[in-house]
Homo-oligomer: A and B are copies of this chain.
Amino acid sequence: MIVETKYYTIEDNIELESGRSLGNIQVAYETYGKLNEKGDNAILLLHALTGDAHAAGYHKGDSRPGWWDDMVGIDKAFDTNKYFVICSNMLGGCKGTCGPNSINPQTGREYGLSFPVITIGDVVKVQKKLIDYLGVKKLTVAGGSMGGMQALQWALDYNELVNRVIVIASTHKLSAQSIAFNAVGRNAILQDPNFQGGNYYHSKKPDKGLAIARMVGHITYLCQEAMQNKFDRRFQDKDTPSFDFGIDFEVESYLAHQGKVFVDRFDANSYLYITKAVDYFDIAQKYGSLEAAFKDTQAKYLIISFSSDWLFPSSQSKELCRALMYNKKDVSYCEIESPCGHDAFLLEYQTQTKIIASFLRSE
Protein backbone atom coordinates (compact mmCIF):
# COMPACT_ATOMS: atom_id res chain seq x y z
CA MET A 1 0.00 0.00 0.00
CA ILE A 2 1.60 3.26 -1.18
CA VAL A 3 0.43 6.18 0.92
CA GLU A 4 1.26 9.82 1.28
CA THR A 5 1.05 12.39 4.02
CA LYS A 6 -1.55 15.12 3.49
CA TYR A 7 -1.79 18.51 5.14
CA TYR A 8 -4.68 20.51 6.52
CA THR A 9 -4.37 23.99 7.97
CA ILE A 10 -6.68 25.19 10.74
CA GLU A 11 -7.51 28.79 10.02
CA ASP A 12 -9.12 29.64 13.39
CA ASN A 13 -7.09 30.46 16.45
CA ILE A 14 -7.05 27.62 18.96
CA GLU A 15 -7.34 28.55 22.62
CA LEU A 16 -4.90 26.50 24.67
CA GLU A 17 -5.10 25.32 28.28
CA SER A 18 -2.22 27.61 29.23
CA GLY A 19 -4.40 30.60 28.32
CA ARG A 20 -2.37 31.31 25.21
CA SER A 21 -3.66 30.77 21.69
CA LEU A 22 -2.19 29.53 18.46
CA GLY A 23 -3.21 30.25 14.89
CA ASN A 24 -2.48 28.92 11.43
CA ILE A 25 -1.92 25.35 12.64
CA GLN A 26 -0.88 22.95 9.91
CA VAL A 27 -1.75 19.32 10.60
CA ALA A 28 0.04 16.44 8.84
CA TYR A 29 -2.17 13.39 8.46
CA GLU A 30 -2.68 10.17 6.57
CA THR A 31 -5.81 8.14 5.88
CA TYR A 32 -6.25 4.49 4.93
CA GLY A 33 -9.54 2.97 3.74
CA LYS A 34 -12.70 4.93 2.98
CA LEU A 35 -15.19 6.84 5.09
CA ASN A 36 -18.69 5.38 4.57
CA GLU A 37 -21.74 7.48 3.77
CA LYS A 38 -22.92 7.65 7.35
CA GLY A 39 -19.44 8.79 8.39
CA ASP A 40 -19.44 6.30 11.23
CA ASN A 41 -16.63 3.87 10.34
CA ALA A 42 -13.70 6.13 11.26
CA ILE A 43 -10.83 5.14 13.54
CA LEU A 44 -8.34 7.74 14.71
CA LEU A 45 -4.95 6.31 15.61
CA LEU A 46 -3.00 8.32 18.15
CA HIS A 47 0.76 8.07 18.12
CA ALA A 48 3.22 7.70 21.00
CA LEU A 49 5.95 10.13 22.11
CA THR A 50 8.03 10.24 18.96
CA GLY A 51 5.61 8.94 16.36
CA ASP A 52 4.11 10.64 13.32
CA ALA A 53 1.19 10.60 10.90
CA HIS A 54 2.68 7.74 8.89
CA ALA A 55 1.07 4.81 10.69
CA ALA A 56 0.79 2.35 7.83
CA GLY A 57 1.74 1.52 4.28
CA TYR A 58 4.79 2.73 2.42
CA HIS A 59 5.77 6.15 1.27
CA LYS A 60 6.90 6.01 -2.35
CA GLY A 61 10.47 4.72 -2.49
CA ASP A 62 10.61 3.77 1.19
CA SER A 63 11.71 0.30 2.26
CA ARG A 64 10.15 0.55 5.73
CA PRO A 65 6.42 0.92 6.37
CA GLY A 66 4.64 3.15 8.89
CA TRP A 67 5.02 2.65 12.63
CA TRP A 68 1.88 0.54 13.15
CA ASP A 69 1.79 -1.24 9.79
CA ASP A 70 1.49 -4.60 11.57
CA MET A 71 -1.88 -3.47 12.84
CA VAL A 72 -3.33 -1.40 9.99
CA GLY A 73 -4.40 -2.79 6.62
CA ILE A 74 -6.63 -5.35 4.95
CA ASP A 75 -7.54 -8.13 7.43
CA LYS A 76 -5.36 -6.56 10.12
CA ALA A 77 -6.55 -5.31 13.55
CA PHE A 78 -7.64 -2.02 12.03
CA ASP A 79 -9.05 -3.46 8.81
CA THR A 80 -8.91 -0.88 6.05
CA ASN A 81 -11.56 -2.78 4.08
CA LYS A 82 -14.01 -1.94 6.83
CA TYR A 83 -12.73 1.20 8.46
CA PHE A 84 -11.58 4.66 7.53
CA VAL A 85 -8.34 4.88 9.48
CA ILE A 86 -6.81 8.28 10.22
CA CYS A 87 -3.53 9.21 11.83
CA SER A 88 -2.14 12.70 12.34
CA ASN A 89 1.09 14.05 13.75
CA MET A 90 0.39 15.67 17.09
CA LEU A 91 0.48 19.37 17.90
CA GLY A 92 3.98 20.18 19.14
CA GLY A 93 5.48 17.40 17.02
CA CYS A 94 8.11 17.78 14.34
CA LYS A 95 6.74 15.65 11.54
CA GLY A 96 4.63 18.11 9.61
CA THR A 97 2.19 19.34 12.26
CA CYS A 98 2.74 22.73 13.85
CA GLY A 99 5.36 22.59 16.57
CA PRO A 100 8.37 24.48 17.92
CA ASN A 101 10.29 23.86 14.67
CA SER A 102 7.51 25.50 12.60
CA ILE A 103 7.79 29.04 11.32
CA ASN A 104 5.92 31.54 13.44
CA PRO A 105 4.05 33.60 10.82
CA GLN A 106 4.35 36.67 13.01
CA THR A 107 8.15 36.63 13.11
CA GLY A 108 9.09 34.62 10.04
CA ARG A 109 11.36 32.49 12.27
CA GLU A 110 11.00 29.14 14.02
CA TYR A 111 8.97 29.29 17.23
CA GLY A 112 11.60 27.55 19.38
CA LEU A 113 10.74 28.08 23.04
CA SER A 114 8.27 30.84 22.13
CA PHE A 115 5.93 28.02 21.13
CA PRO A 116 3.24 27.70 23.83
CA VAL A 117 3.48 24.83 26.28
CA ILE A 118 0.74 22.40 25.30
CA THR A 119 -1.34 19.72 26.99
CA ILE A 120 -2.86 16.46 25.81
CA GLY A 121 -6.18 18.37 25.82
CA ASP A 122 -4.73 20.87 23.34
CA VAL A 123 -3.40 18.05 21.17
CA VAL A 124 -6.86 16.48 21.01
CA LYS A 125 -8.53 19.84 20.30
CA VAL A 126 -6.41 20.16 17.17
CA GLN A 127 -7.19 16.58 16.14
CA LYS A 128 -10.91 17.38 16.50
CA LYS A 129 -10.61 20.09 13.85
CA LEU A 130 -9.13 17.55 11.45
CA ILE A 131 -11.85 14.99 12.21
CA ASP A 132 -14.59 17.58 11.52
CA TYR A 133 -12.87 18.61 8.32
CA LEU A 134 -12.84 14.96 7.18
CA GLY A 135 -16.61 14.69 7.75
CA VAL A 136 -16.46 12.03 10.46
CA LYS A 137 -19.70 11.56 12.46
CA LYS A 138 -18.75 8.68 14.76
CA LEU A 139 -15.24 7.84 15.86
CA THR A 140 -13.18 5.09 17.41
CA VAL A 141 -10.00 6.37 19.03
CA ALA A 142 -7.03 4.09 19.64
CA GLY A 143 -3.49 4.53 20.81
CA GLY A 144 -0.60 3.04 22.73
CA SER A 145 1.42 4.78 25.43
CA MET A 146 0.89 8.54 25.03
CA GLY A 147 -1.57 7.61 22.26
CA GLY A 148 -3.71 5.96 24.92
CA MET A 149 -3.72 9.18 26.94
CA GLN A 150 -5.04 11.03 23.91
CA ALA A 151 -7.72 8.36 23.45
CA LEU A 152 -8.89 8.90 27.04
CA GLN A 153 -8.88 12.66 26.55
CA TRP A 154 -10.99 12.24 23.41
CA ALA A 155 -13.57 10.22 25.33
CA LEU A 156 -13.91 12.97 27.93
CA ASP A 157 -13.79 16.02 25.68
CA TYR A 158 -15.83 14.78 22.71
CA ASN A 159 -18.15 12.27 24.28
CA GLU A 160 -20.87 12.72 21.62
CA LEU A 161 -18.48 11.79 18.81
CA VAL A 162 -16.55 8.90 20.34
CA ASN A 163 -18.14 5.47 20.50
CA ARG A 164 -15.10 3.26 21.09
CA VAL A 165 -11.90 3.90 23.01
CA ILE A 166 -8.84 1.65 22.83
CA VAL A 167 -6.14 2.39 25.39
CA ILE A 168 -2.96 0.30 25.13
CA ALA A 169 0.03 0.28 27.50
CA SER A 170 -1.04 3.62 28.84
CA THR A 171 -2.15 5.39 31.97
CA HIS A 172 -4.50 8.07 33.24
CA LYS A 173 -1.56 9.86 34.91
CA LEU A 174 2.19 9.49 35.16
CA SER A 175 3.78 8.26 38.36
CA ALA A 176 6.46 10.29 40.11
CA GLN A 177 9.04 7.88 38.68
CA SER A 178 7.90 8.45 35.09
CA ILE A 179 7.97 12.21 35.60
CA ALA A 180 11.48 11.80 36.99
CA PHE A 181 12.70 10.00 33.87
CA ASN A 182 11.21 12.72 31.66
CA ALA A 183 12.83 15.38 33.84
CA VAL A 184 16.25 13.78 33.37
CA GLY A 185 15.76 13.72 29.60
CA ARG A 186 14.70 17.37 29.49
CA ASN A 187 17.63 18.37 31.70
CA ALA A 188 20.06 16.69 29.34
CA ILE A 189 18.62 18.70 26.43
CA LEU A 190 18.32 22.04 28.26
CA GLN A 191 21.91 21.80 29.50
CA ASP A 192 23.46 20.92 26.17
CA PRO A 193 25.47 24.05 25.23
CA ASN A 194 24.15 23.78 21.67
CA PHE A 195 20.59 24.13 22.94
CA GLN A 196 21.00 27.91 23.02
CA GLY A 197 17.63 28.61 24.57
CA GLY A 198 15.94 26.55 21.85
CA ASN A 199 17.28 28.71 18.99
CA TYR A 200 19.49 26.11 17.37
CA TYR A 201 17.74 25.67 14.03
CA HIS A 202 20.45 27.43 12.08
CA SER A 203 23.44 26.17 14.01
CA LYS A 204 24.64 22.99 15.74
CA LYS A 205 21.79 21.10 17.36
CA PRO A 206 21.74 19.81 20.96
CA ASP A 207 22.30 16.28 19.69
CA LYS A 208 24.25 15.08 22.70
CA GLY A 209 21.54 16.08 25.14
CA LEU A 210 18.78 14.67 22.96
CA ALA A 211 20.68 11.39 22.56
CA ILE A 212 21.00 11.05 26.34
CA ALA A 213 17.27 11.73 26.72
CA ARG A 214 16.59 8.99 24.21
CA MET A 215 18.92 6.54 25.96
CA VAL A 216 17.07 7.08 29.24
CA GLY A 217 13.79 6.64 27.39
CA HIS A 218 14.87 3.34 25.87
CA ILE A 219 15.73 1.90 29.26
CA THR A 220 12.12 2.54 30.27
CA TYR A 221 10.68 1.12 27.04
CA LEU A 222 12.38 -2.20 27.60
CA CYS A 223 12.28 -3.90 30.98
CA GLN A 224 14.77 -5.72 33.19
CA GLU A 225 13.83 -9.07 31.60
CA ALA A 226 13.77 -7.80 28.01
CA MET A 227 17.19 -6.18 28.39
CA GLN A 228 18.57 -9.30 30.00
CA ASN A 229 17.21 -11.53 27.21
CA LYS A 230 18.45 -9.18 24.52
CA PHE A 231 21.91 -8.33 25.86
CA ASP A 232 22.75 -10.06 29.14
CA ARG A 233 26.36 -9.05 29.92
CA ARG A 234 27.78 -9.76 26.48
CA PHE A 235 30.69 -7.60 25.36
CA GLN A 236 30.37 -5.77 22.06
CA ASP A 237 32.55 -7.37 19.37
CA LYS A 238 35.01 -8.82 21.91
CA ASP A 239 35.31 -11.17 24.86
CA THR A 240 37.13 -9.10 27.44
CA PRO A 241 36.86 -5.64 29.01
CA SER A 242 38.51 -2.78 27.15
CA PHE A 243 39.70 -1.10 30.35
CA ASP A 244 38.82 2.29 28.95
CA PHE A 245 35.66 4.43 28.73
CA GLY A 246 34.60 3.39 25.26
CA ILE A 247 31.73 0.98 24.70
CA ASP A 248 32.25 -2.34 26.47
CA PHE A 249 28.88 -4.06 26.57
CA GLU A 250 26.30 -4.75 23.86
CA VAL A 251 23.68 -2.90 25.84
CA GLU A 252 25.86 0.22 25.76
CA SER A 253 26.22 -0.09 22.02
CA TYR A 254 22.45 -0.50 21.64
CA LEU A 255 21.71 2.64 23.64
CA ALA A 256 24.37 4.65 21.82
CA HIS A 257 22.87 3.55 18.50
CA GLN A 258 19.33 4.46 19.60
CA GLY A 259 20.55 7.89 20.66
CA LYS A 260 22.43 8.42 17.41
CA VAL A 261 19.61 7.55 15.02
CA PHE A 262 17.08 9.48 17.06
CA VAL A 263 18.77 12.86 16.74
CA ASP A 264 18.56 12.58 12.96
CA ARG A 265 14.81 12.15 13.02
CA PHE A 266 13.57 14.18 15.96
CA ASP A 267 13.60 17.76 17.18
CA ALA A 268 14.90 18.43 20.69
CA ASN A 269 12.35 21.19 21.32
CA SER A 270 9.51 18.85 20.38
CA TYR A 271 10.91 16.37 22.90
CA LEU A 272 10.65 19.03 25.60
CA TYR A 273 7.10 20.03 24.69
CA ILE A 274 5.74 16.53 24.32
CA THR A 275 7.24 15.11 27.52
CA LYS A 276 5.88 18.15 29.38
CA ALA A 277 2.39 17.53 27.99
CA VAL A 278 2.67 13.92 29.15
CA ASP A 279 3.82 14.96 32.64
CA TYR A 280 0.82 17.30 32.96
CA PHE A 281 -1.66 14.65 31.86
CA ASP A 282 -3.90 13.71 34.79
CA ILE A 283 -7.47 12.77 33.92
CA ALA A 284 -8.78 13.10 37.46
CA GLN A 285 -7.46 16.59 38.16
CA LYS A 286 -10.14 18.59 36.38
CA TYR A 287 -12.99 16.37 37.64
CA GLY A 288 -11.90 15.82 41.24
CA SER A 289 -11.59 12.05 40.84
CA LEU A 290 -11.09 9.41 38.19
CA GLU A 291 -14.59 8.09 38.83
CA ALA A 292 -16.11 11.54 38.32
CA ALA A 293 -14.15 12.00 35.09
CA PHE A 294 -15.90 9.12 33.34
CA LYS A 295 -19.36 9.66 34.78
CA ASP A 296 -20.99 11.02 31.63
CA THR A 297 -19.05 9.23 28.90
CA GLN A 298 -21.00 6.81 26.71
CA ALA A 299 -18.22 5.04 24.78
CA LYS A 300 -17.16 1.40 25.05
CA TYR A 301 -13.64 0.91 26.36
CA LEU A 302 -10.93 -1.63 25.63
CA ILE A 303 -7.93 -1.39 27.96
CA ILE A 304 -4.83 -3.46 27.20
CA SER A 305 -1.71 -3.65 29.34
CA PHE A 306 1.43 -5.79 29.24
CA SER A 307 2.70 -7.83 32.17
CA SER A 308 6.30 -6.59 31.95
CA ASP A 309 5.55 -2.91 31.24
CA TRP A 310 7.08 -1.02 34.17
CA LEU A 311 6.72 2.45 32.63
CA PHE A 312 2.92 2.24 32.64
CA PRO A 313 2.35 -0.89 34.68
CA SER A 314 -0.82 -2.99 34.60
CA SER A 315 -1.76 -1.65 38.02
CA GLN A 316 -2.44 1.73 36.41
CA SER A 317 -4.64 0.18 33.72
CA LYS A 318 -6.53 -1.68 36.42
CA GLU A 319 -7.11 1.57 38.31
CA LEU A 320 -8.57 2.97 35.12
CA CYS A 321 -10.81 -0.09 34.69
CA ARG A 322 -12.06 0.18 38.25
CA ALA A 323 -13.10 3.79 37.69
CA LEU A 324 -14.95 2.82 34.51
CA MET A 325 -16.64 -0.14 36.18
CA TYR A 326 -17.62 2.05 39.11
CA ASN A 327 -19.56 4.08 36.54
CA LYS A 328 -21.02 0.89 35.03
CA LYS A 329 -19.34 1.60 31.71
CA ASP A 330 -18.83 -1.06 29.07
CA VAL A 331 -15.16 -1.92 29.57
CA SER A 332 -13.03 -4.86 28.45
CA TYR A 333 -9.59 -5.34 29.95
CA CYS A 334 -6.78 -7.60 28.91
CA GLU A 335 -3.33 -7.94 30.42
CA ILE A 336 -1.13 -9.59 27.82
CA GLU A 337 1.72 -11.72 29.15
CA SER A 338 4.84 -10.44 27.42
CA PRO A 339 8.54 -10.21 28.21
CA CYS A 340 8.94 -7.11 26.00
CA GLY A 341 8.26 -4.33 28.51
CA HIS A 342 6.51 -1.14 27.42
CA ASP A 343 7.65 -1.69 23.83
CA ALA A 344 5.27 -4.67 23.71
CA PHE A 345 2.51 -2.43 22.38
CA LEU A 346 4.47 -2.15 19.12
CA LEU A 347 5.69 -5.75 19.09
CA GLU A 348 2.94 -8.06 20.34
CA TYR A 349 0.66 -7.36 17.40
CA GLN A 350 -0.74 -10.84 16.91
CA THR A 351 -2.41 -11.08 20.31
CA GLN A 352 -3.56 -7.48 20.04
CA THR A 353 -5.01 -8.07 16.58
CA LYS A 354 -7.43 -10.71 17.87
CA ILE A 355 -8.51 -8.63 20.84
CA ILE A 356 -8.92 -5.37 18.92
CA ALA A 357 -10.65 -6.87 15.88
CA SER A 358 -13.15 -8.57 18.16
CA PHE A 359 -13.72 -5.37 20.15
CA LEU A 360 -14.34 -3.39 16.95
CA ARG A 361 -16.85 -5.99 15.69
CA SER A 362 -18.83 -6.05 18.95
CA GLU A 363 -22.11 -4.13 19.11
Contact = CB atoms under 8 A, between A and B. Distances in A.
Contact of A255 (B175, B184, B241): B184
Interface residues of A, number: 56
- Interface of chain A: mostly helix, strand, loop or mixed: helix
A66 interface: no
Contacts of A259: 187
A272 interface: yes
A232 B117 contact: no
Chain B CB within 10 Å — which of A18, A116, A241 has the most?
Answer: A241
A191 to B, nearest CB: 4
B177 A243 contact: no
Interface in A345-361: none
Given A212-B212, A233-B173, A248 B191 contact: no
Interface stretch (A26-34, A38-46, A276-284, A290-298): A276-284
A243 B277 CA distance: 9
Copy tally for this chain in the complex stands at 2
Which residue, of A174, A175, A230, has the highest number of chain B Cβ atoms within 10 A? A175
A333 interface: no
A144 to B, nearest CB: 20
Nearest to A223: B177
A116 B245 CA distance: 11
A19 B227 CA distance: 31
A245 B113 contact: yes
A219 B279 contact: no
17 contacts: A18-B243, A20-B243, A116-B243, A176-B227, A176-B231, A176-B233, A177-B222, A177-B223, A177-B224, A179-B233, A180-B252, A183-B256, A184-B215, A184-B255, A191-B208, A224-B313, A248-B276
